[in-house]
Amino acid sequence: MKRTEGILVWDPEVRLFHWVTAISFFVAYFTEDLLTPHVWAGYVVLALVIFRILWGFIGSEHARFRDFTYPPSAVLSNLKEIVLAHPRRYLGHSPAGGAMVLLLLLFLLATTVTGVMLYGAGEHAGPLASAMSGISKRALKEPHELLANVTLALVMLHIVGVVAASVMHKENLARAMLTGRKCP
Ligand code: HEM
């Protein structure tokens, strides 16, 4: 498929959100010991997640939460189809893919918010510095690290899911997240 063929499924905001979030998440994850890049990459992720939540209500058709939020029974039957290697094809996120998107957003949010809290408590810096004064750094360090590691595990699962769906449907989903276009 050429760059201009197919239907526009992912609007420019979703694509920009996706790739800047992906890069910033890895920068933040691997700069744990370098406070300045770690904190700034974390702020970028937090700002993008807040933007994406708003965009889920006002963005284009397939960017909206209502387009990819399915009941648990639909997610389970989609997972069953994936295990049996004949999943139905969806133009936007599939039920299982949509559930993963919601989980990723939730864990990215929890990881970055606990990061800002930890920065306030430990370094007396950032927007929550005064709100976190007197709170021990130790009480926040472990939850923040745990959330970051669970998010990394979800990201890995997300990438495995994208590769598996690309193989099963014989379509390059990563390229679609770059061009925004998919075959109808
Ligand atoms: C090489 C790495 C990655 C690839 C190839 C990739 C690919 C994709 C693709 C193809 C989709 C659309 C899935 C669908 O068709 O339903 C997607 C969605 C998404 N990915 Fe990734 N991804 C990668 C890394 C990441 C990372 C590191 C994060 C988070 C830190 C992430 C978070 C998301 C989110 C939140 C969505 C939903 C997009 C939206 O609707 O706004 N991805 N990804």
pLDDT digits (tens, 9 = 90+) for 3-52: 678 999 999 999 999 999 999 999 999 999 999 999 999 999 999 999 99
Q: For atom 37 of ligand 1, which residue has the closest CA?
A: 101
Residue 172's SS3 state is coil
pTM for the complete prediction? 0.95
Quick one: how far is CA 86 from the chain centroid?
25
Q: Are 165 and 89 in contact (CB under 8 A)?
A: no
Q: Does residue 161 surpass a pLDDT of 80?
A: yes
Going by pLDDT thresholds of 50, 70 and 90, the confidence category of residue 184 is confident
pLDDT digits (tens, 9 = 90+) for 55-108: 999 999 999 999 999 999 999 999 999 999 899 999 999 999 999 999 999 999
pLDDT digits (tens, 9 = 90+) for 131-157: 999 999 999 999 999 999 999 999 999
C-alpha atoms less than 13 angstroms from C-alpha of 15 in its C-beta half-sphere? 14
Q: Does residue 166 surpass a pLDDT of 90?
A: yes
| 92 Cα nearest atom in ligand 1 | 16
Residue labelled with tokens 């058709």: 61
Q: For atom 41 of ligand 1, which residue has the closest CA?
A: 14
**3-state DSSP helix/strand/coil percent for the chain, to nearest 5?**
70, 0, 25
C-alpha atoms less than 13 angstroms from C-alpha of 125 in its C-beta half-sphere? 8
Q: Are 103 and 154 in contact (CB under 8 A)?
A: yes
Going by pLDDT thresholds of 50, 70 and 90, the confidence category of residue 1 is low
Say how far apart CA 50 and CA 46 lie, in whole Å. 6
pLDDT of residue 4: 72
CATH number of 7-182: 1.20.950.20
| Average pLDDT score, the chain | 96
Going by pLDDT thresholds of 50, 70 and 90, the confidence category of residue 2 is low
Tell me the torsion sign for CA atoms 47, 51, 180, 99: positive
Say how far apart CA 23 and CA 168 lie, in whole Å. 27
What's the whole-number mean pLDDT along residues 107-132?
97
Packing angle of the helix pair 95-123, 137-169 (nearest 10 deg):
160
Q: Would you kindly state where each structural domain of the chain is located, as residue ranges?
A: 7-182
Q: For atom 26 of ligand 1, which residue has the closest CA?
A: 22
> Cα(3) to centroid of ligand 1, in Å?
19
Going by pLDDT thresholds of 50, 70 and 90, the confidence category of residue 178 is very high
DSSP state of 61: G
Amino acid of residue 177: M
